[in-house]
């Protein structure tokens, strides 16, 4: 049996076509035979810098035989063996959709041949032509936030490929992706909020649902997933510990909250606690807000979303998303003097700094007001002196 060649071992030769080739060992197959990586140049002098760069790139790298697989083949394996067992079902399904963008552009290319330039070109093309459902105002362009999400998925996928000795470096490193550019948050101002509260009073089957939402700021899946066991009537506390989402087959899926910090306990406003206590007296199911047609199941987020749209349209209010009710709650809470730390706990954010970053439009105004108060105080103090 031939002696196993060490990584980095290589050779330089002049090919029959006149070009110079430099090769190094970058790994080994299962039978011990070497895996080579080569560079080429017209002259030996031009070849040497390329060969030295190749040696540096593959230093301390030991590729396996599977490094010849294509990106499509790696996606198939990674999604099933890495992503599916560790991700929440909705996140996993999102990753499967995200992978399609790269399958179309790089899927047939061997994974160890994918370069940073290849990835950057894919990002640029996806950003310009990634939208499958055309919209008049956006055409085929994909949002910056979506491109960032696609990058994070591919970055994680390629990190796993590095760990599995399929590639020497992650080709997503050093790429340029769009900066976070969130659209301005839409909220209901004081007058619009009054109109909204009047509008839901005309919805006896939905009033409790939307009143609870506007006074707690729960995520759509979280409020749909509330059960009576989550409510402590004596302390007025509500435990948020599950979320309802739409399953791939069109049904409902009941799982954990969006994040670990999403599992939380909040103290209900007295009016909301009273409303839920009264509602419980006639409850016929474990769900606080059951489906109107199938009470043994929770209300569908899809149904709640479209009911909101109908209420807004009939009331002549702005066409906001359901999540904007959460923003409305948070904004009014901050303006009313609720501190960021407390609000962060209510909303289930990771930390208070995320809350402050999310609601910069509010905290900036609060800082201006604080500066005015301090200024007035100092002016009065100087006059007294």
- pLDDT tens-digit series, residues 313-350: 999 999 999 999 999 998 888 888 888 788 888 888 77
CB 203 within 8 A of CB 210: yes
Q: Is 217 left (phi over 0), alpha (psi -120 to 50) or beta?
A: left
Strands annotated E in the chain: 10-14, 20-28, 34-41, 231-232, 237-240, 243-246, 252-255, 264-267
| Rounded average pLDDT over 117-145 | 81
Angle between helices 207-216 and 301-315 (to 10 degrees): 90
Q: What is the pLDDT of residue 1?
A: 44
HEC string for 75-109: HHHHHHHHHHHHCCHHHHHHHHHHHHHHHHHHCCC
257-271: b or e for each residue (b if 16 or more CB lie within 10 Å)?
Answer: bbeeebbbebbbeee
Distance, in Å, from the CA atom of 242 to the CA atom of 222, rounded to the nearest integer, reads 6
- Per-residue burial over 315-342, b if 16 or more Cβ lie within 10 Å, else e, is eebeebebebbbbbbbbbbbeeeeebee
Q: For residue 170, what pLDDT band results from cuts at 50, 70 and 90?
A: very high
User: Are 108 and 161 spatial neighbours (Cβ–Cβ below 8 Å)?
Assistant: no
DSSP state of 232: E
- How far CA 335 is from CA of 134, 289, 330, 357, in Å, comes to 39, 29, 9, 15
351-385 pLDDT, tens per residue? 766 666 666 555 455 444 544 444 444 455 555 55
| Count of positions (residues) in the chain | 385
User: What does the DSSP 8-state code read for residue 67?
Assistant: G
> Are 322 and 304 spatial neighbours (Cβ–Cβ below 8 Å)?
yes
Half-sphere exposure of 172 (CA within 13 A, CB side): 19
Q: Which DSSP helix (H) or strand (E) runs through 302?
A: helix 301-315
Closest listed residue to residue 13, CA positions, set 42, 44, 37: 44
| Backbone φ/ψ region at 165: left (φ over 0), alpha (ψ -120 to 50), beta | left
- Determine the Cα–Cα distance for residues 11 and 54; give it in Å rounded to an integer: 12
- Exposure pattern of 219-252 as b/e (b: 16+ CB <10 Å)? bbbbbbbbbeebbeeeebebebbbbbbeeeeeeb
pLDDT at 370: 46
Q: Which pLDDT tens digit goes with each residue over 195-242?
A: 999 999 999 999 999 999 999 999 999 999 999 999 999 999 999 999
Give me the phi and psi of 87, to 5 degrees please: -100, 155
* Location of structure tokens 């929440």: 88
Q: Which helix (H) or strand (E) holds 160?
A: helix 144-163
Q: How far apart are CA 109 and CA 119, in angstroms?
A: 12
Quote the pTM value.
0.66
Q: Which residues contact residue 180 at a Cβ distance below 8 angstroms, ignoring those fewer than 6 apart?
A: 144, 145, 148
Q: C-alpha angle 170/175/181, rounded to 5°?
A: 125
> In the predicted model, is pLDDT for residue 258 greater than 60?
yes
pLDDT at 110: 92
User: Which two tokens mark 350?
Assistant: 């990771």
**Average pLDDT value for the chain:** 86
């Amino acid at each position: 049996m031939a002696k196993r060649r060490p990584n980095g071992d290589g050779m330089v030769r002049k090919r029959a076509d006149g070009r110079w080739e430099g090769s190094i060992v970058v790994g080994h197959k299962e039978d011990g035979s070497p895996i080579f990586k080569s560079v080429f140049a017209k002259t030996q002098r031009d070849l040497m810098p390329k060969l030295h760069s190749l040696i540096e790139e593959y230093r301390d790298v030991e590729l396996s035989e599977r490094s010849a697989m294509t990106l499509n083949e790696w996606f198939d394996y990674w999604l099933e063996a890495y992503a599916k067992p560790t991700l929440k079902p909705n996140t996993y399904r999102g990753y499967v959709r995200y992978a399609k963008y790269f399958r179309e552009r790089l899927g047939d290319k061997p994974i160890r041949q994918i370069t940073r330039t290849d990835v950057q070109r894919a990002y640029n093309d996806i950003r310009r032509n990634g939208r499958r459902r055309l919209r008049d105002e956006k055409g085929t362009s994909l949002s910056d936030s979506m491109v960032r999400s696609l990058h994070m998925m591919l970055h994680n996928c390629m990190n796993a490929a590095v760990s599995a000795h399929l590639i020497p470096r992650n080709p997503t490193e050093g790429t340029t992706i769009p900066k976070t550019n969130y659209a301005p948050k839409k909220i209901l101002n004081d007058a619009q909020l009054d109109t909204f509260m009047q509008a839901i009073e005309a919805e006896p089957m939905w009033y409790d649902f939307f009143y609870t939402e506007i006074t707690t700021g729960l995520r759509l899946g979280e409020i749909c997933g509330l059960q009576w066991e989550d409510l402590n009537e004596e302390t007025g506390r509500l435990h948020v510990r599950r979320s309802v989402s739409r399953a791939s087959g069109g049904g409902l899926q009941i799982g954990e909250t969006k994040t670990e910090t999403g599992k939380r306990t909040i103290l209900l406003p007295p009016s909301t606690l009273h409303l839920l206590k009264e509602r419980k007296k006639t409850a016929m199911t474990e769900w606080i807000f059951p489906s109107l047609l199938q009470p043994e199941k929770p209300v569908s987020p899809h149904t709640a979303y479209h009911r909101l749209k109908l209420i807004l349209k009939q009331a002549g209010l702005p066409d906001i998303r359901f999540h904007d009710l959460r923003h409305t709650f948070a904004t009014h809470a901050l303006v009313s003097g609720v501190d960021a730390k407390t609000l962060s706990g209510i909303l289930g954010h990771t930390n208070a700094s995320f809350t402050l970053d999310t609601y910069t439009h509010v905290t900036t105004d609060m800082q201006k007001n604080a500066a005015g108060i301090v200024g007035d105080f100092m002016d009065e103090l100087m006059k007294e002196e």
